Amino acid sequence: MPLDIILVAFLAAFVLLRLRSELGKKTGNEPRPPAAGQQDNDQLHGPHEDYEHTDQLILEAEVIDLEENPALRHAYSDIRKADPGFDLAQFMDGAKSAYGMILEAFWNADKETLKGFLDAAVLAKFSSAIDTLEADGLTVDNQLLDITKTEVVAAELTGRVAQLTVHFTSDVVAVTRDKDSKIVQGDASGSVEMNDTWTFERDVKSREPAWTLVATSAG
């Protein structure tokens, strides 16, 4: 074989090896075709974010649509727009817990605990009732057996203040005793049904997540 052909073949093989070596290296700065880059980005992020967004919209729609009362539906929607973190199920769980703790604190004449749940007007009403019982030498020996039903009966957003009114139905052993621990009202051997309607309020722009009890009524 002529020497010049051998040299050309050798040079071609050398160049091919160098090209393969360089093409195999990735520096992270290689340009990508715009269409391909967009497709990769959509595969990694776009659909996933779309699914999450769609799931959230479906969840919100279910929460609203399951409520038959249009006034409540609109109020929930208004509150959620003002406070995207509003969750009706979480609120109801908190309201149910607060109902039990407030009743227990009232029955035990625990004004300090009540301060953490009530606004000034309701606290004054509860405190006055406690003072009256103490002045008469009476104590409340009630026991909350069960909260059988909780239902939102009214809701509204006024400015940045949201109010939700909840009707509670509960089974309670209701007993009032005198200074000698004798029962002067109620029956320790049975329970009675209690019905209370309480209104909770919260500034939706506040960082404080707690709702405050601002109104109560029986029945």
CB 164 within 8 A of CB 144: no
Q: Is the pLDDT of residue 59 over 80?
A: no
pLDDT, tens digit, 9 for 90 and up, residues 112-127 = 999 999 999 999 999 9
**Using 50, 70 and 90 to split pLDDT, how confident is the model at 219?**
confident
Q: What is the DSSP letter of 205?
A: T
Question: Which strand (E) or helix (H) includes residue 18?
Answer: helix 3-23
Residues 6 or more apart whose CB falls under 8 angstroms from that of 88 comprise 63, 76, 152
Domain boundaries, the chain: 86-218
**Using 50, 70 and 90 to split pLDDT, how confident is the model at 56?**
low
Q: Is the pLDDT of residue 22 over 50?
A: no
Residue 179: how many CB atoms within 10 A of its CB? 9
86-218 under CATH 3.40.640.10, yes or no: no
Rounded Cα distance between 217 and 197, Å, is 5
The burial of 193, by beta-carbon neighbours within 10 Å (0-12 exposed, 13-18 middle, 19 or more buried), is given as: exposed
